Every structure is written in structure tokens, then in C-alpha cells.
Amino acid sequence: MRPDPRLLAGQAVGEDAAVVRFPDGRALVQTVDFFTPVVNDPYRFGQIAAANALSDVYAMGGEPLAAMNIVCFPARTMPLEILQDILRGGRDKVLEAGAVPAGGHSVEAAEIKYGLAVSGTVDPARVATNAGLRPGDHLVLTKALGTGVLATAVKGRWEGADELERLVWETAGRLNAVGGAVIRELGLLGATDVTGFGLGGHLLEMCRASELDVELDVAAVPLLPQALELAGMGLVPAGSHANRHFCASRVRIGPDVPALLTDLVFDAQTSGGLVLAVPPALLDRARAMLLAGGDLAAVVGRVRPAAGARGVLHLL
């Protein structure tokens, strides 16, 4: 592979660190994330883990610049070809994002873990944050929910596990690059990515940071195929139950909201979509951009003034 001209020094000749050219007039976004496998195929797992780590940069309106591998692997008991496939999946996703693969670090461990430390750039005057909600904003979700439930079925080798794994990979392995571009072009102030705390947990983070309430139209939330059915069979991961319990004091659930849909609102996602807070005047444009880029553009909620001192999530 031809060396990236942005990489001024790297591991090719045994350097201790990578040096990457930084664009003038930009701010630095840094994040790190890694976890254990959520699918059985090592290449797919590498892609999902990489997309998940890159998502934090997109959620702030940034663009990934460089990424470094973080990997734990049982090299004495597992074929190295598995590690190679994981790293290849991660590299391919970093390249898809237009970023520089810049080495990384590995340790021998009893359990596989993989992810990235990512550096990105952002316009310092156009950063989207959890505190960026404004009353009247529409909340737009760019991916369907249910990867936590489906991954639980995959790990348990449930009937149809191969097809469920494909669905998890197609969803969780998709970059949130389109949503990041919408944030930048429209100057959106509020956004987050949906990961381990579930949609409900991440919305509550935005409520608290913005000191506003959010109304979530549960029936409008898109779900992955079979997610509702599998949740009804009890295949809800422990982390999802923990999310719902932890958030209970600041969640108001309408009398007509089904319990299973509430479970899925708090389903612990892997590399979920973005939630974009979009002013009414920009809603049609934002949705058109997302749909043109192949993302979902589900309007799932609305921001309103807080009734109390802390923001509350209302499930309607």
C-alpha cells in the first residue's frame, strides 16, 4: 500500500510514534473505544469496532484524520490469522473514512478486544455537543435500533444466527460519515452517537447537558428486523436492563408505550447511528441529505423547555 503523504513518520522504519500533518485553522478531536467481539467473523468484527470508534468524531461534526489500533489477543491459543483479519477489517474501515492508519499497540490477553484511538479535525466554530439542544429542535435518528438484542442472539447461536450477524454487521459497520457531513454543512449545534447507553441513555445525557426535556415518539423509532421478536423472547442484554434501571428516575413513560419498545429504547447499541438536533427550518434539508447519502432520517422526537431543574426524557 502506498504511504499516505499526510504521515510524516511512522512504524515503517521502527519509529516510536506517528507524526501526521495537521490542517491549519482546525481543532483536534480525540477519542478512544474498544470492546470484545459482537459477531463471530473476525473481519466483520474489525470493521464494526473501527466504525464504532470513528463515530465519536462524526458525532461532533468532525472528520477522522488518523487512527491507531488497540488490540488484546490470545496469541498462544488462537491462530494469528484471526488477528490479521480483525486488523484488516479495522484498516479497511479507517481507509473508507479517509483517515490515516497510523500503527497502534497490542498486548497478549486471555480475551480478544479491539478498537481504535482516533484523532480528527473539526471547525472550532462548528462543533456539535450534548449541550447543543434548543427548544423546538427535531431529533433525527440515522440508524435503526436493535444491535444489542441481535448480537445477543448471535452469541447464543440462536436460530438464524448467520442472518442476524449479517444484519448487525451491515448496520454497526456503517460509518456515520453522512451524519457528520450534515452537522458540518448545516451548522447543527446538538448531536450524539447512540452506543452503549442506548438511545434513551444518550438522549438523557443531552437533556442533562442542555437542561431541557425531550419527547421521544417511541412508535417512530426504527427497529432492525426481528429485534422486537427477539426482545420478546428475552434476548435483551444485561447492559440494556442496566441502562433502563439507571435512567428510571428521569424517564416518564406514557401509559400506552409497550414495555418491549421501552426495552429497545434502552438497548445497548454497538456503533449505532447519530441523533441530530435539527431546527425546524432545516429539517427537510437535513433529511434529504441523509437519505441521499443512504442513511435513515427518522424524526423520532422533539426538544421542549424543561419542567424542572433537570432535563427529563418523556416516552410517548
Chain centre to alpha carbon of residue 30: 15
Q: Does 2 reside within a domain?
A: no
Asked, for residue 46, whether it belongs to a domain, the answer is: yes
Do residue 100 and residue 81 come from a single domain?
yes
**Lowest-confidence segment of 120-124, 139-143, 163-167 by average pLDDT:** 120-124
For 12, the domain range is 7-122
Q: Which of 67, 95, 122 is the last residue of a domain?
A: 122
> Does residue 247 form part of some domain?
yes
pTM, 2 dp: 0.93
Q: Kindly state whether residue 145 falls inside one of the protein's structural domains.
A: yes
Residue 198 included in any domain: yes
Q: What was the pLDDT predicted at 284?
A: 98
- Looking at the structure, tell me whether residues 118 and 137 fall in a common domain: no
Confidence (pLDDT) at 245: 80
Whether residues 107 and 188 fall in one domain: no
The domain that holds 165 is classified in CATH as 3.90.650.10
Residue 37 CB partners (closer than 8 Å, separation 6+):
45, 112, 114
Q: For residue 1, is it within any domain?
A: no
User: Nearest Cα to 173, choosing from 32, 50, 31, 34?
Assistant: 50
Predicted pLDDT at 213? 96
Locate all alpha helices (DSSP H) within 187-282, ordered by sequence.
198-210, 227-232, 238-247, 259-265
Per-residue pLDDT of 9-39, as tens digits, reads: 665 555 566 677 888 889 899 999 999 999 9
In this prediction, residue 240 carries a pLDDT of 76
Whole-number mean pLDDT of the chain? 93
Query: What pLDDT digit, counting tens, does each position of 241-292 carry?
Result: 787 888 888 899 999 999 999 999 999 999 999 999 999 999 999 999 999 9
77 and 48 within one domain: yes
